[in-house]
Amino acid sequence: MDLLKIKIIGFDADDTLWVNEPYYRETENEFFNLLKDYGSSDYLSQVLLEVELNNIETYGFGIKAFILSLIETALKVSGNKLDSGLIGKIIALGKAQITRQNEILPETETVLKRLSGKYRLIVATKGDLLDQERKLKNSGLLPYFHHIEVMSNKKAVNYRQLLTHLDILPEEFLMVGNSLKSDVVPVLELGGNAIHIPFHTTWVYEDIPAVELPGPRFRKVDKISDILEIL
For residue range 11-50, what is the model confidence (pLDDT) as tens digits? 999 999 999 989 999 999 999 999 999 999 999 999 999 9
**Domains detected in the chain:** 8-19+103-230 (3.40.50.1000), 21-98 (1.10.150.240)
Q: pLDDT digits over 131-147, tens only?
A: 888 999 899 999 999 99
Write down the pTM of the prediction: 0.86
What's residue 171's pLDDT? Answer: 95
Q: At what angle do helices 63-77 and 21-34 cross, to 10 degrees?
A: 20
* Mean pLDDT estimate for the chain: 90
Determine the Cα–Cα distance for residues 227 and 218; give it in Å rounded to an integer.
Answer: 12
Per-residue model confidence as pLDDT tens digits over 46-96: 999 999 999 988 998 889 999 999 999 999 999 988 888 899 999 999 999
**What pLDDT was estimated at residue 210?**
60
Please enumerate in sequence order all residues whose Cβ is within 8 A of that of 148, keeping only pairs 6 or more positions apart, or say none. Answer: 122, 123, 132, 133, 136, 142
Q: How far apart are CA 138 and CA 134, in angstroms?
A: 6
Average pLDDT over residues 151-163: 92
